[in-house]
């Protein structure tokens, strides 16, 4: 077993955060395979914890436990069962995030449940090496019809792993349908965004219904139409679902048809260009939803990403009718909550539209954040009303 001793003073952060960075380590003793369990000690010899080691990553150890215990199949069975039970206690049944990596003390493992299918991601070397065992545990805990791997993400490269996806167990249902907020949704586990769908916005999508009645709604970056469908169900008079992806728009049409909804019109467009065109034409909307992809994915791009968020929010505010509602989102962990709110204030100034903050929301409870780990509080949603 590798035994890592931290530099003096580094233990203060390490006792609170599950990532141990290589530059925090004073010395390494022992020997084992990469991806094996390593022991981490403070400079004074106190146990920091045990976790997976990977010399190829800047995060040299990802802590699994802070106490003396064996990390074997029973360990994973206990952790995954506890994660599932926590979601069931919240009332989740048909679809939810069943395991959320560090948030469930299982760094590098994501498990999303879609009806009787599981979509999984192995994001660290330690989890990758235990893929067969973890798949077996998931079968025991969930009894799924299919386990599909969606480890086709660039973050794996930082662990020295290549992107990969495919069936790990069972047979994939290409017509898989879930029920979210009373709506039927067709889910593409093979090619859909992330693990198939953005489950973290589940409760935020339902929350917009109270604002939608009788309104003309523009849903920007609509993806598979989650916000559009909920706006329609809330009684919107008209919904325009806009996205640059034809595949996404076809999914919107499919999901609208599944639910007998006819109030949604799809529009293939670059959203930035579309908002400028609407402004030039004097168009107004009673409600606008902005749920863009992350404009900043690293600390190096925060400045440029901030400009993107500022631009699109300014454009949207200019299109709001009197007393109109803007639902604006950021899924970037690097655009922190204080920055997000500052951006909204600046956009309000630029657009010369005064707003009040009706709601401030985050990701759904099945994606609960660890308060001493800023990386896990990534989704911010503000509901604004024009004055």
Q: How far is it, in rounded angstroms, from Cα 111 to Cα 127?
A: 12
Contact 252, 219 (CB under 8 A): no
Is 329 in the active site?
Answer: no
Of 19, 101, 28, 29, the C-alpha closest to 59 is 19
- Burial grade of 371 (CB within 10 A; 0-12, 13-18, 19 or more): exposed
For helices 302-318 and 337-351, the axis angle rounded to 10 degrees is 40
Q: Which of 146, 220, 222, 331 is catalytic?
A: 331
Instruction: Tell me which DSSP letter residue 17 carries.
Output: -
d(CA 191, CA 124): 22
Instruction: Please tell me the distance from the alpha carbon of residue 356 to that of residue 338, in angstroms, as a whole number.
Output: 16
Listed in sequence order, the residues at least 6 apart from 10 whose beta carbon sits closer than 8 Å to its beta carbon are 24, 42, 43
Reduce the DSSP state of residue 44 to 3 states and report it: coil
Contacts of 32 (CB under 8 A, 6+ apart): 1, 2, 38, 53
- Residue 124: DSSP 8-state: S
How many other CB atoms sit within 10 Å of the CB of residue 54? 25
Buried b / exposed e over 207-216, threshold 16 CB at 10 Å, is bbbebbeebb
CA distance 210 to 132: 45
Which distant-in-sequence residues (6+ apart) come within 8 Å of 264 by Cβ?
Answer: 225, 228, 229, 232, 239, 240, 241, 252, 256
Active site residues: 331
């Amino acid at each position: 077993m590798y035994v890592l001793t931290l530099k003096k003073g580094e233990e203060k952060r390490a006792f609170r955060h599950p990532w141990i960075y290589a530059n925090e380590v004073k010395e390494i003793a022992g020997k084992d395979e990469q991806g094996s369990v390593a022991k981490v000690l403070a400079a004074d010899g106190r146990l920091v914890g045990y976790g997976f080691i990977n010399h190829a990553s800047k995060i040299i150890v990802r802590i699994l436990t802070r106490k003396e215990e064996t990390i074997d199949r029973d360990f994973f069975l206990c952790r995954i069962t506890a994660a599932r039970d926590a979601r069931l206690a919240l009332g989740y049944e048909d679809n939810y995030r069943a395991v959320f990596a560090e948030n469930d003390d299982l760094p590098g493992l994501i498990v999303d449940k879609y009806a009787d299918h599981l979509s999984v991601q192995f994001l660290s070397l330690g989890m990758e090496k235990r893929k067969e065992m973890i798949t077996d545990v998931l079968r025991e805990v969930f009894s799924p019809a299919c386990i599909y791997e969606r480890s086709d993400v660039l973050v794996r490269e930082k662990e020295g792993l290549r992107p990969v996806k495919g069936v790990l167990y069972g047979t994939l249902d290409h017509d898989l349908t879930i029920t979210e907020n009373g709506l039927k949704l067709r889910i593409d586990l093979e090619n859909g965004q992330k693990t198939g769908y953005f489950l973290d916005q589940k409760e935020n999508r339902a929350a917009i219904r109270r604002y939608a009645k009788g309104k003309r709604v523009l849903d920007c970056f609509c993806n598979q139409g989650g916000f559009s469908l909920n706006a329609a169900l809330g009684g919107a008079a008209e919904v325009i679902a806009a996205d640059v992806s034809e595949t996404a728009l076809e999914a919107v049409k499919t999901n609208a048809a599944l639910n007998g909804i006819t109030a949604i019109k799809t529009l293939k467009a670059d959203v930035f260009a579309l908002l400028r065109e609407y402004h030039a034409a004097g168009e107004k909307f009673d409600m606008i939803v902005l749920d863009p992809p992350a404009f900043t994915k690293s600390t190096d791009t925060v400045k440029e990403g901030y400009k993107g968020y500022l631009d699109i929010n300014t454009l949207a505010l200019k299109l709001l009718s009197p007393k109109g509602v803007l639902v604006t989102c950021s899924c970037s962990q690097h655009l922190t909550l204080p920055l997000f709110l500052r951006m909204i204030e600046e956009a309000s100034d630029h657009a010369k539209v005064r707003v009040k903050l009706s709601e401030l929301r985050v990701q759904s409870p099945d994606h609960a954040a660890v308060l001493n780990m800023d990386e896990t509080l990534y989704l911010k949603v503000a509901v604004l009303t024009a004055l």
